[in-house]
Amino acid sequence: MARHSAMLSLAERALEAWAECRPEGMTLPEDRFAPERLSALLSGIASHIPGGCSSPESARRLHELFNSKDQQKESSPVFLGMLKPCNGQVHFLNFWLAFSEASRIVAGPEPQITALEEELRRLCDRISQMLDAENVEGSSCRRQSVRATVLGEAIQAVAAVSSEPGFWTAVANSMAGLEDEAGELGPEEVAVVTLSWLHDAVAWQQISGGTVVEEAQSPPSATSRQDLFLNVYDVSQEERVQKLNKVLAHKNSPLKFGGVFHVGVEIDGLEWSYGCSTVETVPGVSCTLPRQHPQHHFRQTIGGRRTQLSPEDVADIISQMIEEYPGDDYDLLRRNCCHWADDFCQRLGVSRIPGWVHRLARVPLLF
């Protein structure tokens, strides 16, 4: 069983709070902060802060962070300043960092985190400072970015004094590929990359010897009936997603930091997957030709799986899942294409989908 991670739990709560703010991709637009909306927006975020009602003192701290200091509300709530709006907009990276800091303030004494997670938190703070430095000159915000080479140097500095230098060496090696793809990263790319590092930092500490390994694949059975393949796509057709996935989960690399993926299950010449649908006549579970999903960019195929079930049994399972996974039940956080594919594989009696495919299943809500 995975070890509980306080830092990872906060990141997941931040993602849930972010989704409820109805962002536009990686940003909260200026109209979300209009006076008539601000109170409801901050109240919704505050409801996700852990421990806000655990004691009178925690409740007081929560109120001070998310409410104006005077009854006339002429002063802005403290949390609003922590978000570091730029030209009226808030990037998810700043939202995540502000949410985490607010949680620490409300909770009082900080919950125990590992040395590796503390190193990652300090690196996130350092990256935020680098991005802020882009806007020191002038009164208006420019597009924030940090050069990949500078970020690589910051990672090397962490590795030099780390309790887990092997982990940071792997991170630095992945950054080398990113330097070849783009000279700089904006808050969007940084947020996805750091979320991936957080998931893998937790996994790294659970494996002896400090090596992230893939889940074991079930060996083919001599009595197997049908071959099964997982077709992995970069979510959407956006080039920035393809760029990030190329670095975080290179198809030829044995060490894969989680990327942002869509996945379909191919069996008997057809590819099945799950997606959102708001039309009753259009099911959530759909079928396409293998490796040709129209909304996503095909990346790679993972084979080596076989099911002992007959074609009739497989058809029955698909029929059941069409009923159990309606399109309007799709949820980016808790019930998406990766969850469906994992469930389908288990019902077929084969191994679960690899962790690196599933690891950032929540992140597509940022795009």
Tell whether the torsion through CA atoms of 318, 321, 327 and 332 is positive or negative: negative
The closest alpha carbon to 150, from 201, 190, 110, belongs to 190
Residues 6+ apart with CB under 8 A from 12: 362
262 catalytic residue (yes or no)? yes
**Taking the mean position of all CA atoms in its chain, how far away is CA 315?**
32
The closest alpha carbon to 56, from 112, 106, 6, belongs to 106
DSSP state of 360: T
Structure tokens, 233 = 């796509």
The closest alpha carbon to 178, from 227, 145, 201, 209, belongs to 145
Task: Point out the catalytic residue in the list 124, 293, 296, 337.
Answer: 337
The closest alpha carbon to 268, from 320, 317, 300, 315, belongs to 315
Rounded to an integer, what distance in angstroms lies between the CA atom of residue 35 and that of residue 39?
A: 7
Rounded to an integer, what distance in angstroms lies between the CA atom of residue 148 and that of residue 91?
A: 19
Strands 184-185 and 146-147 come out as: antiparallel
Strand partners for 185 = 146
141 catalytic residue (yes or no)? no
**217-242 as b/e: b if 16+ CB within 10 A:** ebeeeeebebebbbbbbbbbeeebbb
Task: Point out the catalytic residue in the list 91, 262, 293, 339.
Answer: 262
Catalytic residues, which ones?
A: 262, 337
